[in-house]
Amino acid sequence: MDRFPMLTTYKALLTGGAILLVVAGLFMALDAARTPVGFRGETKFEFGVFLLTFIPIGIGAFMLAVSAELISLFLTIENRLYEIQLNTSERTPPPFRTSGDRYSEQRSIPSPAQPGVISNASLSAERSTVSQSGSHKVLATVTTSNRTLVYQRPNKLAPPHRIAAFGEDVTLVARTDDCTWVKIDASYDGWINSADLTLHGDVYDLPVVTQ
C-alpha cells in the first residue's frame, strides 16, 4: 500500500519532466547550432552554440532528476522505518493484567439498604486505578488508532521506538509536571502523549519526572 501517493505522483512527474526536457533541449540546441552558409541552403554546425544552448537545459533536467531521486530516497527510508516500528510492535506483548486489576476498574454501586453511601473501596477505585504490583501506577487505554507512537523522551522531537496498538491497556508509572506526557512501565519503557489515552485513574497520583 502506498502511504504517500502525492509524493509518488510528484516523483513520476519530475522524472518525466527531466526526460522531456533533455529531449526538447537536444532538438533546440541542434537547431540553434545550424548556421546558414551562402545562398544554396547549406548550413554549418556550430558546436559552441550547441553547448551554450544545451548546457542550461541539461542543468535544469539534472535538477529535476535529483529532486525525483531525493523523493525516492525519502520514501524508501520512511517505509523501512515504518516496517521496523510494526515489527517491534508485533513482538512486544501487551502488559499483563490480573483479575484484581480488572475488578478495581469497576465502580462500586451503593447498597440499596444504605442509599447515597459509597464504600471506601468505591472511592478509591474512582480516584485512581493502581496496579497490584506497586503504588503510584495508573491504568490507561490507548484510544488513538492512527500510529500512536511511544517516544524515548517526553518530546515529539525525540526518536520514537515503539507503537502502541489501539485499545491496548498500558500501565503508567510517571508524568511530566504539566501532565502532557506520561511514562509507560517496562513493557514499553517510553513516553506517550496523554491525549492519546483514556485514563482509568487520577494522573496526579503519578510521580513527576523531569527529563
Q: What is the pLDDT of residue 4?
A: 78
* Residue pointed to by grid coordinates 515489527: 87
Domain edges within the chain: 5-91, 99-103+126-205
d(CA 199, CA 179): 12
pLDDT per position as a tens digit, 102-145: 444 544 444 444 444 434 444 344 344 433 334 578 889 888 76
CATH superfamily to which 99-103+126-205 belongs: SH3 Domains (2.30.30.40)
| DSSP letter for each residue of the chain | --S-HHHHHHHHHHHHHHHHHHHHHHHHHHHHHEEEETTTTEEEE-HHHHHHHHHHHHHHHHHHHHHHHHHHHHHHHHHHHHHHHHHHHHHSPPPP--HHHHHHHSPPPPPTTSTT---HHHHHHHH----TT-SS-EEEEE---S-EEEESSSSTTSPEEEEEPTT-EEEEEEE-TTSSEEEE-TTT-SEEEGGGEEESS-GGGSPB---
Q: Which residues of the chain have pLDDT under 70?
A: 1-3, 38-39, 89-135, 145-146, 211
- How do residues 6-24 score in pLDDT, each as one tens digit? 888 888 999 999 999 999 9
pTM: 0.38
